[in-house]
Structure 1
Amino acid sequence: MIRPFESVPTNKIYKSAIVLLIFLPVLFINVRSSHNWGGDFAQYINQAKCISEGRSQTETGYIFNEQNPYLGPPTYPIGFPLILAPLYYFFGNNILVFSFLISIFLLALSFVLVKIFNLYFSYLISVLMAVAFIYNPWLLRFKSSIVSDIPFAFFFLLGIYFYLKKFNSEKTKIRFSILLGLLICISMLIKSIGALIICGILFEKIVSSLKNRNFKFVRFHDPLIILGSILFFYILSNYIMFPTDTEHYSFFSTLFNLDNIAGAIKSNYSYYFVLIKDYFSDDVIISSITITLFLLGFIKKIINKPDVADYIFIAYLIIIFGFPAVQGFRYLFPVYPIILIYIAFGFKSIKLNYPSKRNVFLTMALSVLLILNYYNGISSVIKSQKKTLAGPQTSYSIETFHYIQKNTDENSIFAFIKPRVLALYTERQSIGIGIGKSMEEIDRKFSEVGVDYILTVEDKKSKQFENYLEHYTNKLELIWENDRFKIFKRIN
């Protein structure tokens, strides 16, 4: 079999320089100084602010409303806020700096992807696969969001790669097990689902032992050391060095409704199936080929030689399929490189009557065509990145937040469709409105919390807020407005 790059120097520095040169533009594509209304980004930054100021992460000003739990938990896991905290300490709430940090993680992720792909395919094919993934316009648009998914994917996939690369023998050096435990711990601190790595490792050992009928302790020596180091680093960081609230664990567990699990699986399956199909192109022919190759490659790899990445992937899909609400591309993103591996295996399994050398060139040609298909999307992302997004950085938002800070008491409580954003940019407590509740129930909750003001914005209209304003018009007084925002004072 021909191995591309055999005729050129193959030292690590040379290869790393090539990868750096190819992916360096990622640092500068869609790096923004503005953010959309989002919500998660504000919660992460606010928790980072609390960490940098030595305060509890529960003091963000966001008031959790159990009438609308899907809006977001009281706090997120400490991992991503901890990454943001040093930047907040030196630069404050600087979206441009945070956006550049996400770009750095995406650049680092490109190196990890090349390494993972190279475990299964030639180096050149691995680079082309990484290019096809990283330069996808869908991902380049997504990277402007200050959320935890790209940093999580970096540590999550690095942990998988480290295990696949270093743990092929019966017994590995202890320092490798401890290092892998640290990587898994970091991914868990960012997103709890990172625990699937150690679950996949233990499952692989059990399957291997059943096949070989060998349950000797030595086969579980490394996983136990990894598990021990995970627990050590997790307790040290989460409970001793940076003690934090653990409400996010109970919060996510309460979202699962076993009575409607079948409906959730059906809805999520349909949504994520389309995401897998359309990630590279919304062209019907290309997307149909993509899903066919994915299924073919998945079946072939699982039957022939499954490894820990496959077990993690299956477990990951089970969890996100059972999640009670569709969460979008970001939830599938960390395992999409594994999906790409299956697609490549599916393509590789097709028997073409060409010499192997021609197969390599055919693969390269298809990859280049796919990348050229990205041109319009990438061009659109680059052209739009200097525009101010509809969100907290618009002149109307800045004017409104300034008014609130100057003209309302610091203990005032607001109701707003994006309470976490308002809490970050005004340092006022804020709560979201209930969903699927009667106006009386919503008003009772506002009274219970002590809401003083209602803030509305044209960019993010809410039927619930509109109904509330109409229903309680006699209890609300319009005290300020601009072209986008209105502030109503509640009259008791």
Structure 2
Amino acid sequence: MRKPRHTVLFFILLGLTAVIIFCTVTNGHNWGDDFAGYILQAKSITQLDPRGFIDANSFTVKNSSYAFGPIAYPWGFPALLAPFYAVFGMNIVGLKLLGVISFLIFIIFIWLGFRKYHSPVWLFCLVCLFALNPTLLSFTDQILSDFPFLLLSTVSVLLTGRLIIEKRNIISPIWDYILLGAIIAGAFFIRTNGFLLLISLAITQFIALILKLKQSDKHPSRRQDFLKYLSINLIPYISFFCIVLTWEAIFPQGGTSHLSALNAVSLEVIRNNLNYYINMPAEFFKGVPNYHVFYFASIPVAIAGVVKRYRLDYHIVIYIILTFTLYIFWPLLQGIRFLFPILPFYFSFVITGLEIFQGGQTNTEQKLRRWICLVPVIIVFAYFAINSTGNAYANMMRHRESFTGPYTASAQSMFSFIKSNTEKETTIVFFKPRLMRMMTDRKSIMLRRKDELSRGDYLCLYLLAPARDQVSLDTIQSLSDEKTAFLIYENSEFKIYKLTFNKIPFMNRQGMHQ
């Protein structure tokens, strides 16, 4: 039984986490283009014009040098973001609240959902691993789908175990299964790999059914219950597909996944990805000296935890294996954020392994073993807290200002010039086209080759970026010599050129300043 002081300590920790996040959030964003796509989709929902977004982004993707993403991401995250856009508009700090709230609710579910696995002290340790983690807290400063998906996937896996394996109801069997299907559908709407939750559910039910059949061989009188058992277990799928079909009827589709990327799968990709994702969880300990040592030391401890719990937690093992397998075959690497959904369960197994080790035959041995387990965990917490609070303090000292990205003074000046000095229907060539459209309400495309530049009317060059998704400076010089590109604006980070392929040359330079 958990004493009230444990709950009090948890809420103190939750409050501390909220304060750190409040001080960590900046008034800007990095150069990632995905967040702009999400905001534009959310905006189209508030304007009741999702089809308008599809048409505009289709122009961007199809006219760029390569398809840098789907025409539309799954509509779940934009739908969650839409109320925040309706209230805060383009206020970037206000829009980050969705990720912040999702992360804090996730912390609450760690506390509530893993209580059956761990003693109060070790449960608190598990919560601290996430609530104070500087890597996770830094992600609250981005507008991405990671934390809403992490929340729903965690709840889905926990609920699967409770309903299918433990057979413990929340409301009633029917409503619980409807709820489970709805939560999985919500995760699927946010990311298409949420479908793995449905596959995990199916495999879990199949294993549970096999175990039930073995039990029924000993108790033939129970065979008549199987039809009822099967009918009830179909409810989550009915719930899932009914919601999905309704959702598909409401929102237009535009290639809402990266499934075409699977065409690039090869043995080399699989081998590289396997090595990449085996080592990637070490980033969770980033900020701790020799953090790779802590990660690799946790692996055998986690295995011990799996051995201890697999008979009742095989649904968790199934989900971890499915998720890891997907990303081994997935050519697009996205860092540790792809592994966020399995980290709560991995570290729960680690905690279980530590709890196993702390046992002993005498009180003295038990205390010694317990401190052997706790000391490295406390060291990790200390570095997590120092790094997280240090990052928050540094952010407040610079008044939340970002030194790079689209919200710096130089970037905002460039966007303002484009809005004031270009025609509404012009096309701007820029290395982050969705971001350009979000900031200026101009059509924008990303071009990498000289022979493609005739598709645009203006070229905005970012001087601090590598030329991967924009033309090189040598190409610009060549265009200037050919009198097909005329510099009309520049500052310390950007240059804007008027392109005149088969057009009347634009001879005046406006708005020039250093």
TM-score band by shorter chain is: 0.7 to 0.9
Letter in 1 for 2:237: L
**Deviation sequence 1:222-281 (CA, Å, 0-9, x none):** 4410011011122223323xx2224123xx1211125x4222222222222222134224
Q: CA deviation at 1:310?
A: 1.2
Residue equivalent to 1:488:
497
**Deviation sequence 1:90-119 (CA, Å, 0-9, x none):** 221111101233211111110111223323
* Aligned partner (choices 415, 425, 435) of residue 401 of structure 1: 415
Structure 2 residue 332 is the aligned partner of structure 1 residue 325: yes
- Work out whether residues 153 and 333 of structure 1, in 8 Å CA contact, stay in contact via their aligned partners in 2: yes
- Work out whether residues 196 and 323 of structure 2, in 8 Å CA contact, stay in contact via their aligned partners in 1: yes
Q: CA deviation at 1:387?
A: 2.4
How far apart, CA to CA, are the structure 1 residues paired with 2:294 and 2:402? 38
How far apart, CA to CA, are the structure 1 residues paired with 2:235 and 2:127? 32
How far apart, CA to CA, are the structure 1 residues paired with 2:485 and 2:202? 59
Residue equivalent to 1:274:
279
- Work out whether residues 283 and 336 of structure 2, in 8 Å CA contact, stay in contact via their aligned partners in 1: no
Q: CA deviation at 1:372?
A: 0.6
- Work out whether residues 458 and 484 of structure 1, in 8 Å CA contact, stay in contact via their aligned partners in 2: yes
Q: CA deviation at 1:59?
A: 4.6
Residue equivalent to 1:346:
353
Letter in 2 for 1:89: A
RMSD, aligned CA: 2.8
* Aligned partner (choices 437, 440, 447) of residue 426 of structure 1: 440
For residues 100-119 of structure 1, the aligned pairs below 5 Å read 100-119=97-116
* Aligned partner (choices 38, 43, 48) of residue 37 of structure 2: 43
- Work out whether residues 295 and 342 of structure 1, in 8 Å CA contact, stay in contact via their aligned partners in 2: no
Q: CA deviation at 1:352?
A: 5.7
Give SS of 2:28's match.
Answer: coil
* Aligned partner (choices 142, 153, 156) of residue 156 of structure 1: 153
For residues 93-492 of structure 1, the aligned pairs below 5 Å read 93-167=90-164, 168-169=166-167, 173-213=173-213, 216-240=226-250, 243-249=251-257, 252-257=258-263, 260-281=265-286, 287-298=292-303, 301=306, 304-305=310-311, 306-350=313-357, 353=360, 355=363, 356=366, 359-360=369-370, 363-385=373-395, 386-434=400-448, 439=449, 443-444=451-452, 446-447=453-454, 450-463=455-468, 464-466=470-472, 468-473=475-480, 474=482, 475-492=484-501
Larger radius of gyration: 2
How far apart, CA to CA, are the structure 1 residues paired with 2:260 and 2:478? 31
Q: TM-score, normalised by structure 1?
A: 0.87
Letter in 2 for 1:226: P
Decide which moves more: 54-63 or 33-42.
54-63
How far apart, CA to CA, are the structure 2 residues paired with 1:28 and 1:37? 21
Letter in 1 for 2:488: I
**Deviation sequence 1:397-426 (CA, Å, 0-9, x none):** 111111111111111111111111101000
Taking a change above 3 Å as real, the CA distance of residues 429 and 376 of structure 1, as seen in their structure-2 partners, is same
Taking a change above 3 Å as real, the CA distance of residues 227 and 190 of structure 1, as seen in their structure-2 partners, is same
- Work out whether residues 70 and 256 of structure 2, in 8 Å CA contact, stay in contact via their aligned partners in 1: yes
Residue equivalent to 1:79:
76
How far apart, CA to CA, are the structure 2 residues paired with 1:389 and 1:238? 40
Aligned length in residues: 472
**Structure 2 unaligned spans of 5+:** 215-222, 502-514
- Work out whether residues 43 and 60 of structure 1, in 8 Å CA contact, stay in contact via their aligned partners in 2: no
How far apart, CA to CA, are the structure 2 residues paired with 1:92 and 1:153? 25
**Deviation sequence 1:420-450 (CA, Å, 0-9, x none):** 110100001111124xxxx4xx624x44xx3
Give SS of 1:147's match.
Answer: coil
**Structure 1 unaligned spans of 5+:** none
Q: CA deviation at 1:488?
A: 1.2
Taking a change above 3 Å as real, the CA distance of residues 443 and 383 of structure 1, as seen in their structure-2 partners, is farther
- Work out whether residues 30 and 382 of structure 1, in 8 Å CA contact, stay in contact via their aligned partners in 2: yes
How far apart, CA to CA, are the structure 1 residues paired with 2:287 and 2:278? 13
- Work out whether residues 156 and 183 of structure 2, in 8 Å CA contact, stay in contact via their aligned partners in 1: yes
Decide which moves more: 371-380 or 131-140.
371-380
- Work out whether residues 455 and 487 of structure 1, in 8 Å CA contact, stay in contact via their aligned partners in 2: yes
Letter in 1 for 2:255: E
Q: TM-score, normalised by structure 2?
A: 0.84
- Work out whether residues 39 and 420 of structure 1, in 8 Å CA contact, stay in contact via their aligned partners in 2: yes
* Aligned partner (choices 51, 54, 58) of residue 58 of structure 1: 54
How far apart, CA to CA, are the structure 2 residues paired with 1:405 and 1:133? 42
Taking a change above 3 Å as real, the CA distance of residues 415 and 295 of structure 1, as seen in their structure-2 partners, is farther
Q: CA deviation at 1:381?
A: 1.5
% of aligned pairs identical? 23
Taking a change above 3 Å as real, the CA distance of residues 454 and 48 of structure 1, as seen in their structure-2 partners, is same
* Aligned partner (choices 88, 92, 99) of residue 91 of structure 1: 88
